[in-house]
Amino acid sequence: MIPMPSWLPALVRRTRREYFADFWITPPITAALAVYSLSRGFDWWWAIAFVAGWFAWTLYEYAVHRISHHAPWISDLHWLHHRNQKDYIALHPALTLLNYAVIWLLFGFDAAPFAIGFSVGYVVYAGLHTAFHYAWIKDGELLWPLKQHHVAHHRYHDRCFGVSTKLWDRVFRTI
C-alpha cells in the first residue's frame, strides 16, 4: 500500500470556525432552494422527490462512511476522526458550495425537491454527528439510542456505519 502523503491530513483538519461553517452555509441554501421550489407549486411529486432525496442521502451517508473505512488514503483520513473524536475533521466548507453548484449545473432547478431532501438529510446528519461528539446526551433522551449506535461504531469499526439512521446497517447487516 502507498503511504499517505504528509500534506493530506491538512485537507480535512479544520478550525472550529471552518468546521461549523456548514451550519451557516447549508441551511440557508436549503431554505432558499425550498422557497424557490415551493413558489413554483407543491404536489405529490414534489413530496415524493423530497423523500427520495432524503432517502438517497441516508444511503449515500452509509456508503461513503463504510467505504471510508477501507479505501486507501481516505481510510487514513477517516482514522484521524476515530483517533481523536473531538478534533474538527471535515471537508472544507468551500466543497459544500461546490457540491451545490455541481448539482444545480447537472440537474437544474427542476431537481430542487430531490436536492432539498438530500440537503436536509445532510443537515440532519451534520447536526447529529456533531451532537454525538460535542453534546451531552443522557440515557432516556430521544437521541440516546442513535448516539449509542454511533458509540458502537467507534468501538467496533466494522459495524454501525449509519449516523442519522440505522436503516442501512439493518439492510446490510452491519448493526
Measured CA to CA, the distance from residue 22 to residue 18 in angstroms comes to 8
Query: What does the pLDDT read at residue 115?
Result: 87
The answer as to whether 103 is a domain residue is yes
Q: Which long-range contacts (CB under 8 A, 24 or more apart) does 54-57 make?
A: 54/117, 54/118, 54/120, 54/121, 55/117, 56/114, 56/117, 56/118, 56/121, 57/117, 57/118, 57/119, 57/120, 57/121, 57/122, 57/125, 57/164
pLDDT in tens, 53-81: 999 999 999 999 999 888 887 777 777 77
* Cβ–Cβ < 8 Å for 65, 129: no
The predicted model gives 34-52 an average pLDDT of 93
Least confident of 39-48, 106-115, 156-165: 106-115
Within 13 A of 89's CA, how many CA atoms are on the CB side?
18
Q: What is the mean pLDDT of residues 32-43?
A: 90
- For 82-131, write each residue's pLDDT tens digit: 777 777 878 888 888 888 788 777 777 777 898 899 989 999 999 999 99
19 falls within a domain: yes
| In the predicted structure, residue 52 carries a pLDDT above the cut 70 | yes
Give the per-residue pLDDT at 79: 76
In a domain, 144, yes or no: no
Residue 165 lies in a domain: no
In a domain, 99, yes or no: yes
**Number of domains making up the chain:** 1
Write out the three cell numbers for 18: 471552518
Evaluate whether residue 28 is within a structural domain. Answer: yes
Q: Give the whole-number percent of the chain exceeding pLDDT 70.
A: 99
With CA atoms as reference, report the closest residue to 12 among 57, 74, 71. 74
Q: What is the pLDDT of residue 1?
A: 64
Quote the domain boundaries for residue 103.
Answer: 10-129
